[in-house]
Structure 1
Amino acid sequence: MSNLRRALHRRLLPAGARFGTGLIAVAAVVLVPGAASDLVSGVASPPASAVGPQAADGGGTRVLPPPAADTPQPPAATPAGDNSPVPAIALDAYRKAAAKLKASRPDCGIDWATIAAIGQIESGHAAGGQVDTHGTTLTPILGPVLDGHGYAAVPDTDHGRLDGNTTWDRAVGPMQFIPSTWTRWAADGNGDGVKDPGNLYDAALAAGAYLCAAGGDLTTDQGLDTAILAYNHSTAYLNSVRSWIDRYRGGATPTPAATDTAAQQAALQQALHAERKPSAAGQQALAYALAQLGKPYLWGGNGPNAFDCSGLAQQAWKAAGITIPRTTQQEWAGMRRIPLSQLRPGDLLIYFPQATHVAMYLGNGKVVQAPRPGAVIDIVATDANPILGALRPDPAAGSTPAVPRSTPAPKAKPKPTPHRAPATPPAATHPTTGTVTPAPKPTPTPTPTPALRAPTVTGPADDQPAGTAARFTLTAHGDTRTIRYRYTLDNAAPQTATAPRPGGSATVTITPTTAGRHTLTVRALDAAGRTSTATVHTFTTAAPAARLTATGDLTGDGLPDRIEINTVGELHLYPGTGPNTYSAKGTLVARPEGSPSTDWSGVTQLTVETGSAESGPPILTTLEGGLRYRFLANPDLTLTLQANQPETTSP
């Protein structure tokens, strides 16, 4: 970390400040099972075999008050060949995590620099090493509430034990784990017998294990990219992590436009210590951008309720009467570039070698940006990400010249308002015929469509027996554009439910057939097929319960047996051990050939006819769909459907 960056961090960390140096804003961008290509928050799941049903971590916005003034700050340790210091205790945590994973996962090849890059972006190494001697954060690091407002909706999974919220989840700790993900990947990195997501050693080891499970061989480009994208499925995030890995490994920072890092830092220092005023249009653009603080990031968003990075820049300058290109690559290719030393408020900074991010310079070493999926518009340090270069949307406009801070700036003389060409060309008269050609009408700019609001999902209480039909209500919050809902249970194929009226609620019936934890993912859809962010509703089911029972001697040993059909359509036979006692261990009895179905879920009545020498073997009788079926019980506890069945029942 450069001296400038540390100085900016000191200026940018008042109590309750939000970090924005990385490219995860919270797991708010969660990829849910069964929707691996559909971004909700930007976070992708590693293979199901590796991580189970929950998606990965988030990070970004942290509620992190500064430590007390008398709290000792750990020294910074700079690895050989690296000019980006890491707090000594954080460096120790990352190195020990990598060493343990080298022993337990030699096939992975993860190094400390990869774990450190994640730690840098997720929390700035726990806010610059604000941890105790054991590596536990002095104050909790919490991401935004995942309540569906600008983020994925992730209802509480830990009863508030880790994040203090009993309604919604929040990402926790220096590596920003969602509580349910921490439950799966929790680790004890410092050997104190406690697995704490707020401890650097524990969180670093867990994050490394997660990355190894997701990417496999991290010594390959493909494996490393896969692992990083599993942590947060965002190209900008991948670029940022890669750049920090290169820094920590001592390699060249991937910034082609500024290969001399020292020169770049000197230029930023020069801009920082020069007092420049924005142009008149720049002032208007800044006012617009700052008015959007706290609004959510939305890929492709042009406002007014959500923006992506280039959408915010374009709309801010549009408010100032100046049109700039829509994408960062178009901006970098077609706009006027300026030296970093000449930055003035309102200028645009382009980041990463592929020009994949843009922010607006505020002055005093800060930028305003729409950072990434799952995040909100915020203010961060100018060099929070690798800078490609700077652009000026209004190069012809003047501003107060740069002067040293110690010299008062001379008062600017009033200037006449510059003449601007009319937005619409005037009507033209043909020079010979005199025919008047009307002026073309300007193409109106369409009003951006606000994003659909994520639906609310309500359902029955947890621990209903597996196989029990459960009714879930999907609510649109009155957004009349919602006409249907798309929902997915676990990894099953998506289904749709139509709202009875625009903006109305829909009720769906779902029958989980296995016991355990289930994930119901729901999105709202409008008439154009646009979807909202996802609401992830989790619930648990208990073991199947008995639905129908009958007693009788089906085994032919003279003792009554218990026959039970459970809620998932299985038939179990519990042999009798006494007049009214039965074995605790049942035998699963399959349906024989010729049966009308493959399970017993359609049975509405169940009886046993005891066999005898005169009547023959015992018989199991069922009633299904108005038809009666008779099954002969064999000595090996299999059944045979009688040839003269089914029989029509009496009315």
Structure 2
Amino acid sequence: MPGRLLRTICTGALAGLLAATTALTGTAATAAPVDEGESSVTGLLTRLRTLYQETERATEAYNAADEALKKQTADTHRTDAELAAARAALARGRDEAGRLARQQYQGRSALSPYLSLLLAPDPQHALDESHLVTRAARERATVVSRLEVAEKKAAALATAARTALTRRQTLLAAQQRQRQAVRTKMDEVERLLASLTPAQLAGLASLETSQTAGAQSQLLGSGTLDGTRTPSREGAEALRFAARQIGKPYEWGAEGPDTYDCSGLTQQSWGAAGRELPRTSQEQWRTLPRVPLAELRPGDLVVYFPEATHVALYFGDGLVIHAPRPGARVKVSPLAANPLLGAVRPDPDTVPLETFTPPELPEGATDGADEGYAGDQAPATDSR
């Protein structure tokens, strides 16, 4: 019941806005010039939120493609190195086989080792020579066997290298498509924002603030959150890292140290605490152990939207640290600033600290709109 109540509280305002937008616009997925029906602040806010969610969905798809490309590139380099080593070993084997063949040709005899022993003036010397001949034969057989193995290994690695290269090229093309998808969505957001008047921008900020405050008040008043919980040692370290990033610009696909997207911030924060997390918000939601919202403790990851396209670190007292959107900066926001999907815990196997003092937040940590349209927000950056 607490989880259902919390989700209802946090999604109610968004559902109402979507209904209002449907009535006003019929769709919120494009950024055509604003018409009279879309000029209401409610319709504009819903439309902007939709565009930002689509942008973040595209960003996380880009992150997934980029992560797969990184892994495949490493695999391709490793396979290429193994192939180069196998070819070098094959070349050495062929040189050795050629040397033995030349020795056999230069020292060949028409007599068998048995006849050589019978006819030799010094039988002991003949026995020694026979032993050397036998050993040389075994050496030749070993060289030939190694050569056959090396040839098979080199052939298999050559096939693997071609497969790895093809896979890398496929992933590179997918990454480029996802990069273009993000840029297209960001262009739509920028065109919409550029078409708005200062009065409309101020109205958006005011409406978002009032809606978030209402949802946050219901959330805190429901008694769902337990303000006495403390993080683990790792969770406290992750929070301290995240707090030090406050004020840095959002950049899609960024993993720090100067800019972040939402999952890049959570991944690097927990990485600083010694825990390796998946790169994307969807993978963090899918692979990490779920924790009931009523049992949230600082350091847990809070995941938003039905497709898990946004993620934040729970700070405690109903607040989160996150990289909100293009055009915004890493900041502290109310837990109910976006529709909640649930929460996960990167360190379920640890015990909470007996006491915990939250990291000190810098001045202005809560300033700015989460949607990235206020005048004091960071520029939407793209270095790729």
**TM-score when normalising by structure 2:** 0.41
More strand by proportion, 1 or 2? Answer: 1
